Amino acid sequence: MRNDSKIVYRDGLKGVVCDWAGTAVDFGSLSPVSAFEEAFKDFGFEITRDEIRRFMGMYKKDHTREILRFTRERFKEQFGYDPKEETVETIYSKFEPSLLNCVRKYSKPIRGVVEFSREVRKMGLKLGSTTGYTEEMMKIVVEEARAHGYCPDYWAVPTARIPGRPHPFMIYENVIELQIYPMSAIVKIGDTVSDIQEAHNAGCWSIGVVVSGNELGLSEEEMETADPAVLKSKIKNGYKTLKDAGAHYVIDGIWDALPIIEEIDQRIRAGEQP
């Protein structure tokens, strides 16, 4: 006998999975940009910050590959050949030590993240995380963030076994390690299109972050001196970009996230799914 009844999950939110750079630490997501600029310059091929930020949030070797794909015509015009996998490896070999040299400087928690982590735990939620950084990079980031009061329950990195964003596997790893389910009871918070795609592919809720992250791409000091009209326009565009990518909610920064978390919890208890 066929049973077409559907079980509706109503037990509320179980966990939050946060991105790192631009969401939880490194206001403006500055460290990867600086390292990519240096690595490509050392190779003899200069790229723009917009070209770097276009693929932010990905595993950094994939990020290198995508920048070269996007700039292929200009690269071929300069060097006389298409970028190859050997080119990716050469530039990435310059990028990784450059990032390792500067990542500690940019690992201070963004305002509100320590308080946010404290409050979600009071709600009984697990706090996981995903990143585009390697394990070696993350050991530095986690150590520095912990010294300033921020320490998620788990962090996953992309590997040969677990591909990075936009694939959902790092979120799945968090779910397994933290023993939380179903996917519709998880929220992913991140500042890039690939973060939102990761959440969508995993089947969980998503919150996009604009002001502290990649879409704005400014330090707090740069924000203070920026032209207000230009700043307003960039923030508006950032909201649109993440919303168009499929984010369920878009906010300025993690300091605005707690009311959204509570709203999603209520929506789940009402029987809604992502």
Give 181-200 as a DSSP string: --GGGEEEEESSHHHHHHHH
Mean pLDDT of 27-51: 91
pLDDT confidence of 44, banded at 50, 70, 90? very high
Report whether pLDDT(46) > 80.
yes
pLDDT digits (tens, 9 = 90+) for 218-254: 999 999 999 999 999 999 999 999 999 999 999 999 9
**What backbone torsions phi and psi does residue 259 show, to the nearest 5 degrees?**
-60, -30
Q: According to CATH, what is the number of the domain 31-104?
A: 1.10.150.240
| The pLDDT value given to residue 148 | 95
Report the C-alpha gap between 107 and 141 in whole angstroms: 5
Mean pLDDT of 27-50: 91
| The pLDDT value given to residue 96 | 86
Report whether pLDDT(63) > 60.
yes
Identify the CA nearest to 75 among candidates 64, 62, 237, 25.
64
pLDDT confidence of 6, banded at 50, 70, 90? confident
Q: What is the CA radius of gyration of the chain?
A: 19
Q: Are 249 and 243 in contact (CB under 8 A)?
A: no
Taking the mean position of all CA atoms in its chain, how far away is CA 211?
A: 13
User: Which residues of the chain form CATH 3.40.50.1000?
Assistant: 15-29+107-269
pLDDT confidence of 1, banded at 50, 70, 90? low
Place of tokens 């992913």: 188
Q: Are 252 and 189 in contact (CB under 8 A)?
A: no
Identify the DSSP state of 202.
H
Report whether pLDDT(3) > 80.
no
pLDDT confidence of 115, banded at 50, 70, 90? very high
CATH class of 15-29+107-269: alpha beta
* Mean of all residue pLDDT scores within the chain: 94
Identify the CA nearest to 255 among candidates 225, 206, 211.
211
Report whether pLDDT(56) > 90.
no
Report CA torsion sign: 48, 53, 54, 58. positive
| The pLDDT value given to residue 140 | 93
Percent of the chain with pLDDT over 70: 98
Enzyme catalytic residues:
19, 60
| The pLDDT value given to residue 4 | 61
| The pLDDT value given to residue 222 | 92
User: Which residues of the chain form CATH 1.10.150.240?
Assistant: 31-104
